[in-house]
Amino acid sequence: LYSAAITRKRNLKILFYAKKSLNKVNYFKNFSFFLSLFLFLTFRNSSVHPTGANLKENIKVKILIFRGLSAGVENNLTLPQPPRVTAGSNALQRLNTGDLFFPYLVGLVEGDGFFTITKNGLYIQYEFGIELNSRDIQLLYKIKDNLGVGTIRLRKRITKINKLEIELATFKVKDKSSLINVILPLFDKYPMLSNKQYDFLRFKNILLSNTIKFNEVPEYTRPSKPWLYQVEDILNVPYFSSWLIGFIEAEGCFSIYQPNARRAFSAAGLKASSSECYEASFDISQKDALNLIIAIQKLLSFTVTVTNLGDNNYKLKVSSVRYIENVIKFLHHNPVKLLGYKRLQYILWLKKLRTIPKYSKKIDIPQNY
C-alpha cells in the first residue's frame, strides 16, 4: 500500500509539471503568434523594413531559456513615429482640391486685408492680416481654423470723422514659414483682382528674396494706374462669383431708408403708409479699382453709372426693383454664402423687403438664406 501511494504521488507530480510545461509552451506559442502579427502590421504600414540594422534598432527581442520554455522581452517596443503634420497642411490639401472658401477669402482680403512690410529695429517684420469690427471676430476665428495659422487680437481705435471709439478684431500671420507655405500659395492660385495685387507681389518678392534689413527695402507706393486687369479679364476669371461674395462681405452694404417719397405723397395730397415710404438699396465701393467695380456692374447686369467719390474711390449703388432682384438672385443661387455679420444684415434686409409693397409684390423674396 505504501509503495502504491508513493507511485501515485510521483505520477501526480509528473503530471503537474507536464501540465505546467505545456502551459508554458502554449504561452510561448500564443506570444510568438501575436508578436509576429504585431511585427507584420507594424512594418507593413511603415517605411522602415524589418531587415538588418532597422530591425535591431526598432525592436529588441531576446528569447530566454530557463525552467522550461518561456520568452522575455528586453526593453520596450519602440513604435514607428507618425509623419509630422505641419501647420496649414490641411489648408493646402483643400486649396489643391478647389475649395471655394479660398476665393471667398481672397475677396474679403481685397476689401479688408493687408500685406505689410514694417520696420522692427534694424530688421523687417512681415505681416499678412485682416481687420474687421469686433462683431465679426467669429468670422476671423473661422478663417484661422481654415488656414491653420495666425493669431487674433482685439484693439480699440478712435474714428477720424466723429471721434468715436470702436473695437476692432485683427487676424495676423507673421511667421515666415506660415507666410511662405500657406499664404503665398493661396494668393498665387487666386490672385486679387484690383491694384491691391501690387501690394501682394511686392510682399512676395521681398519675402522670397530673403531680405533681412529694413534699409534694403525699396520705397513703395501702390500704383493707381494702369489698372492691373481689364474689365473683360476680370469677368473671365473662373472664381469671380465666389470672390465677389467675400468682397461683398467686406465692402457691400444693404440699406433700407426713407428718400423723398414721403414729401412726394404729401405734395400730392395723399397719405402714405409707413411701409410705402421706405426704399431698399445695395451698394459697393473700392479705391483704385474702377475696372473691378465695372466688372461687378456687368456681372450683376446693372446699367447704372459708377460714381467717382474722389481720390480714386468708386461706388456702385442700385435701388430699383429689377436690380434689387438681381442682387437677391445672385446671393441666393451662389454656392458660396456670406459668413459673417454681413449675413445677418442681409437676412434682416430681406425681412424688411417683404414689408415694402414696391418690392414684395414684384420679387420672389426667399424665406431663408
Contacts of residue 4, Cβ cutoff 8 Å, sequence gap at least 6: none
Q: What is the pTM of this model?
A: 0.74
What pLDDT, on the 0 to 100 scale, is given for residue 80?
45
Is the pLDDT reported for residue 232 higher than 60? Answer: yes
Residue numbers of the domain that contains 244: 231-360
- Same domain, yes or no, for 205 and 135? yes
What pLDDT, on the 0 to 100 scale, is given for residue 12?
41
pLDDT class of 272 with cuts at 50, 70, 90:
low
More confident residue, 361 or 271: 361
- Same domain, yes or no, for 53 and 101? no
- Beta sheet of 165-173, edge-to-edge order: 113-120, 123-133, 165-173, 151-158
Mean pLDDT of 335-346: 98
Q: Is the distance from CB of 250 to CB of 276 less than 8 angstroms?
A: no
What pLDDT, on the 0 to 100 scale, is given for residue 102?
98
- Same domain, yes or no, for 245 and 207? no
The residue among 257, 203, 197 whose CA lies nearest residue 229 is 197
Answer yes or no: is 34 within a domain: yes
Which residue in this structure is represented by grid cell 501526480?
Answer: 12
What is the CATH number for 145? 3.10.28.10
pLDDT digits 0-9 by tens, 166-197: 999 999 999 999 999 999 999 999 999 999 99
Answer yes or no: is 68 within a domain: no
Helix axes of 341-353 and 321-333: crossing angle, nearest 10 degrees: 130
- Burial-class residue 46 by CB neighbours within 10 Å (0-12, 13-18, 19+): middle
- Same domain, yes or no, for 93 and 207? yes
More confident residue, 67 or 125: 125
Q: Is the distance from CB of 293 to CB of 314 less than 8 angstroms?
A: yes
Answer yes or no: is 119 within a domain: yes
Q: Is the distance from CB of 295 to CB of 235 less than 8 angstroms?
A: yes
Answer yes or no: is 194 within a domain: yes
- Same domain, yes or no, for 35 and 96? no
- Same domain, yes or no, for 34 and 98? no
Is the pLDDT reported for residue 300 higher than 50? Answer: yes
- Same domain, yes or no, for 211 and 237? no
In this structure, which long-range contacts are made by residues 200-206, counting pairs with CB atoms below 8 Å and at least 24 apart in sequence? 200/115, 202/115, 202/117, 203/115, 203/116, 203/117, 203/126, 203/128, 206/117, 206/124
Q: Is the distance from CB of 70 to CB of 209 less than 8 angstroms?
A: no
Answer yes or no: is 223 within a domain: no
What pLDDT, on the 0 to 100 scale, is given for residue 227?
83
- Same domain, yes or no, for 356 and 238? yes
pLDDT class of 88 with cuts at 50, 70, 90:
confident
- Same domain, yes or no, for 239 and 172? no
- Same domain, yes or no, for 152 and 199? yes
Domain boundary among 216, 241, 273: 216
Q: How far apart are CA 236 and CA 233, in angstroms?
A: 5
Phi, psi dihedral angles at 69 (to 5 degrees): -100, 125
CB count in 10 Å sphere of residue 271: 8
Domain count, the chain: 3
Please report, in angstroms and rounded to a whole number, the separation of the first and last CA atoms in the chain.
99
What pLDDT, on the 0 to 100 scale, is given for residue 359?
96
- Same domain, yes or no, for 197 and 275? no
- Can you spell out the DSSP letters for 166-226? EEEEEEEE--HHHIIIIIHHHHHHS--SSTTHHHHHHHHHHHHTT--BGGGSPP-----SS
More confident residue, 118 or 86: 118
Is the pLDDT reported for residue 253 higher than 50? Answer: yes
Q: How far apart are CA 209 and CA 344, in angstroms?
A: 43
CA-to-CA separations, 147 to 84, 93, 101, 169, 181, in angstroms, rounded = 17, 11, 10, 17, 11
- Same domain, yes or no, for 276 and 192? no
pLDDT digits 0-9 by tens, 2-24: 444 444 444 444 444 444 444 44
pLDDT digits 0-9 by tens, 106-147: 999 999 999 999 999 999 999 999 999 999 999 999 999 999
Cis amide prior to 226 (ω within 30 degrees): yes
- Can you spell out the DSSP letters for 302-324? --SPPEEEETTEEEEEE-SHHHH
Answer yes or no: is 143 within a domain: yes
What pLDDT, on the 0 to 100 scale, is given for residue 128?
99
pLDDT class of 27 with cuts at 50, 70, 90:
very low
What pLDDT, on the 0 to 100 scale, is given for residue 25?
40
Answer yes or no: is 186 within a domain: yes
Average predicted confidence (pLDDT) for the chain: 81
What pLDDT, on the 0 to 100 scale, is given for residue 162?
80
The residue among 208, 126, 114, 243 whose CA lies nearest residue 170 is 114
Q: Which residues of 232-265 are buried (b: 16+ CB within 10 A; e: fewer)?
A: eebeebebbbbbbbbbbbbbbebeeeeeeeeeee
Is the pLDDT reported for residue 239 higher than 60? Answer: yes
Answer yes or no: is 124 within a domain: yes
List the beta bridge partners of residue 146. none
Mean pLDDT of 93-113: 95
List the beta bridge partners of residue 154. 169
